[in-house]
Amino acid sequence: MKKLQLLLIFSLFGHVVMTNEVNVYTSRHYDSDDALYEEFTKETGIAVNIVSGKGSALLQRLKAEGVNSPADIFFTVDAGNLWKVQREDLFQSIKSEQILKVVPENLRGPNNEWTAIAKRARVIFYNPDNVNEKMIKGISYEDLANPEWKNKIVIRSSSNMYNQSLVASLIASLGEVDTEIWATKLVNNLARKPQGNDRSQIIAVANGEADIAIANSYYIGIMLSGSAGEDQLTAANKVRMIFPNQDNRGTHINISGAGILKNSPNPKNANLFLEFLLSKRVQKYMVDKSYEYAILDGVLPSKEIASFGISFKEDQTSVQKYGELNPDAVRLMDRSGWK
């Protein structure tokens, strides 16, 4: 029997219950995660049972299931989504010293109720055929409010959680008044009404519909890999990625993250599962397949992402703020006219 293998059998009212499993509710959409789950089972003997869906639907399911929920782990993208689960008092504190040691405090939830598993940056994409390198060098998010970018910027809608978290981070750094002034000017600089997903914004820049797009870094990795098709590969090769705010606080960082649920029937297995995801070998596999950035120091990004630079200055704002300030960010975006 392997050291980590858990084959805990106990009797409950005459029934034999097997607890060598971990039940994961996930809104992540990477097929490569399936191979990770299989590897975890191979190493530990613990079966991984997956329930997939949109984050909002999974949250409603957890609330409906209550204390009888079989879920051990909630695994999702964006700290704002993790905050919503914590707000419903559905997480327990992570006890693993290994996890707390390797994950920086600014990438963990309040009371250590959730943790980052991977990082993603919300960056700027531009077309070098249309944008002078001197104009784009040293750019900040704040600069996107300047008049020289009038009718030249594309970004998805205000209902998108990635944008809400970006605005929340700006509120944390600049204050609500200055962030609202920024958002209003940004809206006035848009080349079109917000529409489509992040890849749509990158494609718009590649096609000359705009000069600048704001989007998550990992999307360019997906496009450059060729897995999204020839058209997206062609578009990706036309644009460049730049990290904003390198001269001051750094680029906005968000996360994929997970927490152990309060009513988890298998909390020990859940802790082992999170430790597995945060091991160096698994971190490298994840970033090579999802094109995110690793939590652990020394784990390089995928070759597609590394082509834009191996390292950059990251904003150290606590990701907790993205949830705490989300209501303020949403109201601010509405007042600014961000559709």
Least Cα distance to 134 among 189, 126, 142 occurs for 126
Fold (topology level) of 9-119+253-306: D-Maltodextrin-Binding Protein; domain 2 (3.40.190)
Least Cα distance to 212 among 273, 159, 151, 160 occurs for 151
**Domain ranges (residues) in the chain:** 9-119+253-306, 121-251+315-335
Residue 23 C-alpha from the chain's centroid: 21
| Extended beta strands in the chain, E state | 9-12, 15-18, 21-26, 47-52, 73-77, 115-126, 153-154, 212-216, 240-242, 253-260, 293-294
Q: What is the pTM of this model?
A: 0.90
pLDDT surpasses 90 at 68: yes
CA distance 117 to 147: 38
The tens digit of pLDDT for each residue in 239-289 reads 999 999 999 999 999 999 999 999 999 999 999 999 999 999 999 999 999
Homologous superfamily assigned to 121-251+315-335: Periplasmic binding protein-like II (3.40.190.10)
> Which tokens in the block code for residue 76?
């999702």
Confidence tier at 73 by pLDDT (50, 70, 90): very high
Cα-based angle 106, 111, 117 (whole degrees, multiple of 5): 50
Least Cα distance to 46 among 2, 101, 97, 91 occurs for 2
The tens digit of pLDDT for each residue in 179-208 reads 999 999 999 999 999 999 999 999 999 999
CA distance 316 to 37: 31
The tens digit of pLDDT for each residue in 140-166 reads 999 999 999 999 999 999 999 999 999
Give yes or no on whether 9-119+253-306 and 121-251+315-335 have one common fold.
yes
